[in-house]
Structure 1
Amino acid sequence: MTHYDEIGVGYALGRRTDPRWLAPVLDALGPAASVLDVGSGTGSYEPPSRRVVAVEPSAEMIRQRRPDAAPVVRAVAEALPFAGGTFDAASAVLTVHHWRDWRRGLAELRRVARRQVVLAYDTALHNDFWLVREYVPEVASLERSRPSAPEIAAFLGASSVVELPVPWDFTDGVFPAHWRRPEAYLDPAVRRSCSALAQTSPAAVERGMARLRADLESGRWHEEHAELLDLPEWDAGFRLIVA
C-alpha cells in the first residue's frame, strides 16, 4: 500500500486540471507522439491527442481515473517496466517529491524516454508560504525532506526551467492553491487534497486551523496580507523542468 491509498480518497474532487498549467506542460513535451506519464495519479495532466501510457502505484488513485483516461500500469518510478527508449517523452507532474528514491526514478525517466518533462517545486519557497510560516510550521520539516526543483533540474541537466505561478483562482488544489482564499483551508476536503497537510500531524494542523479561523474572524489575516489581495498570481516555487 502507498500513502496515497490512505490519503488519496476523494483526491479527484479537489485536484482538477487547470488549463493554465496544462498548456505549458504540452508545450514542454514538444513534438513527442508517445508519452509516459509517471506518477500520473488521476490523470490531471495527461496530454490529449498523443499516445499516452500512465504509471501509478496507488490503487486508490487508479480507481479515481476517468473512463477515458490513458491506460495505466501499476508500477513505481524507480522500476519502470519498459525497455530503454520506448517513449519520445516522459512526464512527471508533482510526483517526484513522493518517490522513495527520486534520483533512481529520474534515471529511469531518462532510460525510457529521450525527453523528460518534470513539474516540481522549490521547497524553500513552499516553506515561505504564509500557511506554513504562520499557522502550520510543522509542514516545513516534511518539505525539507523532499527533493527541491533546483536539485531535480541539476540532476537531469535541464535545458530549461520555467516558473509556473499560481493564479488566484487556480482550480487544481495544490497545497498553496488558495494563497489568496485563506478560508478554503478551513475545509477538511481541501486539506485532504494537499499531501503536505495530509501527511502532517492532525493535531498540528488543527491547531493551525484554529489560529487561522480566529485571524479570519478578527480581520487580522486580511490586514497582515493585504498585499496579496490584488495580485492575479503568485510564485509558490513551482517550476517546469525540461531535459
Structure 2
Amino acid sequence: MTAYDRIGVGYARGRRTDPRWLAPLLDALGDAASVLDVGSGTGSYEPPGRRVAAVEPSAEMIRQRPPGAAPVVRAVAEALPFAACTFDAALAVLTVHHWPDWRRGLAELRRVARRQVVLAYDTARHKDFWLVREYVPEVAELERSRPSASDIAASLGARSVVPLPVPWDFTDGVFPAHWRRPEAYLDPAVRQACSALAQTAPGAVARGMARLRADLASGRWHEEHRDLLELPEWDAGFRLITS
C-alpha cells in the first residue's frame, strides 16, 4: 500500500485542474505528440489532444481517474515500464517530492523521453508559509526531507525554470492554495487533499487548527496578514522546470 492509498481518499474533489496552470504546462510540452504522465494521480494536468499514457503507483488514485482519462499503468517513477525514447515528453506534476529515490526517478524520465516537464516547488518557501510558520511548524520537518525545485532543476540540467504564482482564487487545492482564504484550512476535506497536512501528526494539525480558528475569530489573522488581502496572486515557490 502506498501513502496515497491511505491519504488519497477523496483527493479528486479537492484537487481540480486550474487553467491558469494548465496553459503554461501545455506551452512547456511544446510540440510533443506523445506524453508520459508520471505520478499522474487523478490526471488533473494531462494534456488534451495528445497521446498520453500515465504511471501511478496508488490504486486509490487510479480509482479516482475520470472516465476517458489516459490509460494508466500501476508502476513507480524509479522503474518505468517503457523502452528508451518511447515518448516525446515526460510530465511530472507535484510528484517528485514523493519519490523515495527522486534522482533515479528523474533519470528514468530522461531515459524514456527527449523532453522533461516537471512542476515542483521551493521547499524553503513552503517552510516559510504562514500556515507552517505560525500554526503547524511540524510540516517544516517533512519539507526538509523533500527535494526542492532547485535540486530537481540541477539534476535535470534544466534549460528553463519558470515561477507559477498561485492566484488568490486558485481551484486546485495544493497546500498553499488558500493563502488568502485561511478559513478553508479549517475544513478537514481541504486538509486531506494537502499531503503536507495529511502526512503530519493529527495532534499537531489539530492544535494548529485550534489556534487558527481562534485567530480568525479574534481578527488577529487578518490584522497580521493584511498585506496579503489585496494581492491577486502570491509566489508560493512553485516552479515549472523544463529540460
Q: TM-score interval w.r.t. the shorter chain?
A: over 0.9
What TM-score comes out, normalization by structure 1 length?
1.00
**Distance apart, 1:128 and its partner CA:** 0.7
Name the structure 2 match of 1:109.
109
Tell me, yes or no, if structure 1 residue 18 matches structure 2 residue 37: no
Name the structure 2 match of 1:198.
198
Name the structure 2 match of 1:44.
44
**Distance apart, 1:241 and its partner CA:** 0.1
**Distance apart, 1:82 and its partner CA:** 0.2
Aligned-residue CA RMSD in angstroms?
Answer: 0.2
**Distance apart, 1:148 and its partner CA:** 0.3
Name the structure 1 match of 2:211.
211
* 1:162-209 Cα shifts (integer Å, max 9, x gaps): 000000000000000000000000000000000000000000000000
**Distance apart, 1:125 and its partner CA:** 0.4
Name the structure 2 match of 1:184.
184
Gaps of 5+ in 2: none
For 1:117 and 1:10, locate their aligned partners in 2 and report how far apart those are by CA, in whole Å. 27
* 1:146-168 Cα shifts (integer Å, max 9, x gaps): 00000000000000000000000
Identity %: 87
What TM-score comes out, normalization by structure 2 length?
1.00
Name the structure 1 match of 2:239.
239
Counterparts of 1:1-243 in structure 2, within 5 Å, are 1-243=1-243
**Distance apart, 1:110 and its partner CA:** 0.1
Runs of 4+ aligned structure 1 residues displaced above 3 Å come to none
For 1:81 and 1:155, locate their aligned partners in 2 and report how far apart those are by CA, in whole Å. 22
**Distance apart, 1:134 and its partner CA:** 0.2
Gaps of 5+ in 1: none
For 1:3 and 1:156, locate their aligned partners in 2 and report how far apart those are by CA, in whole Å. 26
For 1:126 and 1:6, locate their aligned partners in 2 and report how far apart those are by CA, in whole Å. 23
For 1:109 and 1:27, locate their aligned partners in 2 and report how far apart those are by CA, in whole Å. 19
**Distance apart, 1:84 and its partner CA:** 0.1
**Distance apart, 1:138 and its partner CA:** 0.2
Return the letter of the residue paired with 2:115. Answer: R
Return the letter of the residue paired with 2:76. Answer: V
Return the letter of the residue paired with 2:239. Answer: R
For 2:206 and 2:4, locate their aligned partners in 1 and report how far apart those are by CA, in whole Å. 21
Return the letter of the residue paired with 1:88. Answer: D
Return the letter of the residue paired with 1:134. Answer: E
**Distance apart, 1:239 and its partner CA:** 0.1
For 1:81 and 1:226, locate their aligned partners in 2 and report how far apart those are by CA, in whole Å. 50
How many equivalent residue pairs? 243
